Amino acid sequence: MAYKINTNCVQAGYTPGNGEARVLPIYQSTTFKYESSEQMGRLFDLSESGYFYTRLQNPTNDAVAAKICALEGGAAAMLTSSGQAATFFSLFTILGAGDHIVASSAIYGGSFNLIAVTMKRMGIDATFVHPDITEEELAATFKPNTKAVFAETLANPALIVLDIEKFSRQAHAHGVPLIIDNTFPTPINCNPFKFGADIVIHSTTKYMDGHATAVGGCIVDSGNFDWLAHADKYPGLCTPDDSYHGVTYAKDFGKGGYITKATAQLMRDLGSIQSPQNAFLLNLGLETLHLRVKRHCENAQAVAEYLEASDKVTWVNYPGLESNKYHALAEKYLPNGSSGVISFGVKGRRAAATKFMDSLKLGAIVTHVADARTCLLHPASTTHRQMTDEQLVEAGVLPDLIRLSVGIEDVSDIIADLEQALAKM
Ligand X SMILES: *Cc1c(COP(=O)(O)O)cnc(C)c1O
Give least dist CB 112 to ligand X, A: 10
The alpha-helical segments, DSSP class H, found in 190-252 are 235-238, 249-252
* 110 near ligand X, rule: CB under 6 A: yes
Nearest to 89 by CA among 98, 78, 76: 78
Q: Is 320 exposed, middle or buried (0-12, 13-18, 19+ CB in 10 A)?
A: buried
Rounded Cα gap, residues 90 and 234, in angstroms: 14
Closer of 116 and 231 to ligand X (Cβ): 116
Dihedral sign for Cα atoms in the order 334, 281, 203, 306: positive
Q: Would you say how long the chain is, in residues?
A: 425
Nearest to 49 by CA among 253, 292, 333: 253
Cβ atoms within 10 Å of 410's Cβ, excluding its own: 11
Query: Reduced to 3 states, what is the DSSP secondary structure of residue 161?
Result: strand
* 206 near ligand X, rule: CB under 6 A: yes
Site string for ligand X, 184-203 (x = CB under 6 A): x------------------x
Closer of 203 and 338 to ligand X (Cβ): 203
Give least dist CB 395 to ligand X, A: 18
Residue 154 backbone phi and psi in degrees, to 5: -135, 110
* 272 near ligand X, rule: CB under 6 A: no
Instruction: Choose the stretch contacting ligand X; rule: CB under 6 A; options: 179-187, 222-230, 328-336, 415-423.
Output: 179-187
Give least dist CB 92 to ligand X, A: 15
Instruction: Choose the stretch contacting ligand X; rule: CB under 6 A; options: 21-29, 178-186, 380-388, 391-399.
Output: 178-186
* 405 near ligand X, rule: CB under 6 A: no
Residue 170 backbone phi and psi in degrees, to 5: -70, -40
Site string for ligand X, 72-91 (x = CB under 6 A): ----------xxx-------
Q: What residues from 132 to 161 belong to the interface with ligand X (CB under 6 A)?
A: 152, 156
Maximum CA extent, the chain: 74
- Figure out which of the listed residues 108, 225, 318, 326 binds ligand X, where binding follows CB under 6 A: 108
* 100 near ligand X, rule: CB under 6 A: no
Rounded Cα gap, residues 56 and 63, in angstroms: 14
- Figure out which of the listed residues 105, 111, 275, 283 binds ligand X, where binding follows CB under 6 A: 111
Closer of 84 and 93 to ligand X (Cβ): 84
Pairing of strands 375-377, 401-405: antiparallel
How many residues interact with ligand X (rule CB under 6 A)? 16
Q: Under the rule (CB under 6 A), what is the footprint of ligand X?
A: 82-84, 108, 110-111, 152, 156, 181, 183-184, 203, 205-206, 215, 217
